[in-house]
Amino acid sequence: MAAPADCSEAALAAALADVPELGRLLEVDPYLKPFAQDFQRRYKRFTQTLNDIGENEDGIDKFSRGYESFGIHRCADGGLYCKEWAPGAEGVFLTGDFNDWNPFSYPYKKLDYGKWELYIPPNQNKSLVPHGSKLKVVIRSKSGEILYRISPWAKYVAREGDNVNYDWIHWDPEHPYKLKHSRPKKPRGVRIYESHVGISSHEGKIASYKHFTCNVLPRIKDLGYNCIQMMAVMEHAYYASFGYQITSFFAASSRYGTPEELKELVDTAHSMGITVLLDVVHSHASKNSEDGLNMFDGTDSCYFHSGPRGNHDLWDSRLFAYSSWEVLRFLLSNIRWWLEEYGFDGFRFDGITSMLYHHHGMGHGFSGDYHEYFGLQVDEDALTYLMLANHLVHTLYPDSITIAEDVSGMPALCCPISQGGCGFDYRLAMAIPDKWIQLLKEFKDEDWNMGNIVHTLTNRRYLEKCIAYAESHDQALVGDKTLAFWLMDAEMYTNMSVLTPFTPVIDRGIQLHKMIRLITHALGGEGYLNFMGNEFGHPEWLDFPRKGNNESYHYARRQFHLTDDDLLRYKFLNNFDRDMNKLEERFGWLSAPQAYVSEKHEDNKVITFERADLLFIFNFHPSKSYTDYRVGTKSPGKFKIVLDSDAAEYGGHQRLDHSTDFFSEAFEHNERPHSLLVYIPSRVALILQNVDLPN
């Protein structure tokens, strides 16, 4: 009867021997011990793939430079070298402006492993294919069909006029933009401004990289954000997909401008000390074949799984075959391309729940039972790819940041690979915005549960960092509502003028908007994210031009001019967001250990906690203010107000005297050795600093 236990102990010992730091992971979370063999297998697959790349490709450094040989490249003699991977093709040709679109005059030579190459000599020392030329790869399929395709490695594609499909345009400028500024150091506490270039103007049109550089970057800097997460940059044919149906993975979207203008945007952000992340979509790809990856070589299995496994039914898109050697080359090279060519500082990996599990998370609710994260339902090919991607990013640039968008809560996702983890720096705390929406939709203010709010904000895996957010782009989309809209709705159109008295709805909305954001910022994670415009309570949802709205741009814009209007109340929320971020910069609560929560009082609706030597006090009660409210603290000393949501500049009611000094006394309260008495008005958030402590 003892044999199984002995075997289990032997298996655990073997796993600990194979995975260098697995013991540290299991020490932090002993409940993972039964799954030690899963971590062992994952780590072995990662190291084996890395070793195979080393033996067959001279290492991941060379392997991840696929963009230097695949696609089209100008040679030193002025000629062109062309290379593609099309294992299902019978013949491959290059055509375009340069040969009057003759489909067969420039055939590729077939190489091993499904690769094809072509050299086009120069014409009088000049390239036969000048910058700006239109091109196509011509594929003769095994069935004899002639297919016109865009190279998967195309660096620039554009759509002219009313054309449905994109054209591949050879991008080889005589004077390419050179990045001038060094990358910023990794922020100790990351404050992310989630951004979309196309909607960054208040005008009803697609805004440009130039517009964003000149008009939005200064706003981001002024607001105190130190990181931008750029959405919808990888080229996508359908604008309303929000950038999540990628057609050309190496092309920066031409609808906003040129590749050189995107480089200038990133470089300018770096000059301001701002880190720039790319929203990278490697979880799936557009079904487009004319201007996408699908059916590139005439088969459904070139870059994707063949048959049903290669289709995502919910997203109506194609799924990569992550175990394929050339798919690994393509995706890892894509990661490196954005780092090297454009100077991005890391990535937010979209939709990785779909990658991690064969069921893609569809129709599957995650309860937190550890058995859900291991076993046959896990796609370990995709998991190995994510480990390789994180290894590559952090090897190339140790200050890079990677963020995982995962709704499942897979353990060790943000633990080092050496522990058997996946190697991400952060995961998105996706339960937090859902909690705020639920409270606003389903509960009266007096019925909010303080303990449940605190639990949602603090319920995260120890030593795995989270990006907290009250709302992201998901909550801004048509069909949903932003927090500002849930709070104030139609009155935002009529009662946001400072010339009119506060209505109960607007007053409640402005006060709670600030409190929700501050408690999320201070208690919810080790990083913070805000979607552009939501910081000032953007009054409308987001809806891209489509047939259903007569192709209107009215809601596909961010109305920054509203916060610049001194007669509107949006400025108050903007001011608060700015000062909240700048206070975090000063005190560093995001990089401090998780807060100590001393009170979550259900009747009083009061939450108090300490983090980064600051004392945070929230009174969520809709009507009750408290005089001489006792608040516990760990330290003796004199306290002063450093942030007060009730201040005039934040649209508050100015009920607190900022010249007041609060002195703690050696009176134990809520299991804290000291305490002080504070006046806490209703619907107010306060931050107190102990000025006797070293800053």
Q: Which two tokens stand for residue 245?
A: 């149906």
Asked about 350 being catalytic, the answer comes back as yes
Q: Where are the domains of the chain?
A: 76-170
Token pair in block for residue 674: 């000291």
What predicted TM-score, i.e. pTM, was given to this entire model? 0.96
DSSP line for 142-193: TTS-EEEE--TT-S-EE--TT-SSPEEE----SS-----SPPPPPPSSEEEE
Distance from C-alpha of 653 to C-alpha of 608, rounded to nearest angstrom: 21
Write out the two tokens for 34. Answer: 């039964």
| CA-based torsion, 671, 675, 681, 684: positive or negative | negative
Task: Tell me how far apart the alpha carbons of residues 620 and 626 are, in angstroms, rounded to a whole number.
Answer: 12
Q: Find the length of the chain.
A: 695
The pLDDT value given to residue 298: 96
| Residue 412 identity | A
pLDDT at 161: 81
The CA distances from residue 268 to 183, 214, 285, 694, in Å, are: 11, 9, 30, 35
How much of the chain is in helix, strand and coil states, percent to nearest 5?
35, 25, 40
Q: Tell which phi-psi region holds residue 161, choosing left (phi > 0), alpha (psi between -120 and 50) or beta.
A: left
Mean pLDDT, 10 residues at a time, over the chain (695 residues)? 50 93 95 96 97 97 98 93 97 97 97 97 86 97 96 96 90 95 97 97 96 98 98 95 95 98 98 98 97 96 96 96 98 98 98 96 89 95 98 97 96 97 97 95 97 97 95 82 92 95 97 98 98 94 89 93 96 98 98 97 98 98 97 96 98 96 95 97 98 84
Instruction: Identify the CA nearest to 347 among candidates 428, 276, 397.
Output: 276
Do 536 and 577 form a contact (C-beta atoms < 8 A)? yes
Return d(Cα 66, Cα 421) in angstroms, integer: 27
CATH 2.60.40.10 fits 76-170, yes or no: yes
How is residue 148 written in tokens?
Answer: 């016109």
pLDDT score, position 480: 78
- Spatial separation of the C-alpha atoms in residues 657 and 679, rounded to whole Å: 10
Place of tokens 């339902």: 377
Catalytic, out of 194, 300, 350, 584: 350
What's the confidence (pLDDT) of residue 56?
A: 97
Contacts for 167 with CB less than 8 Å, ≥ 6 apart: 134, 157, 158, 159, 160
Residue 2: the pLDDT is 31
Q: Which of 172, 267, 405, 584 is catalytic?
A: 405
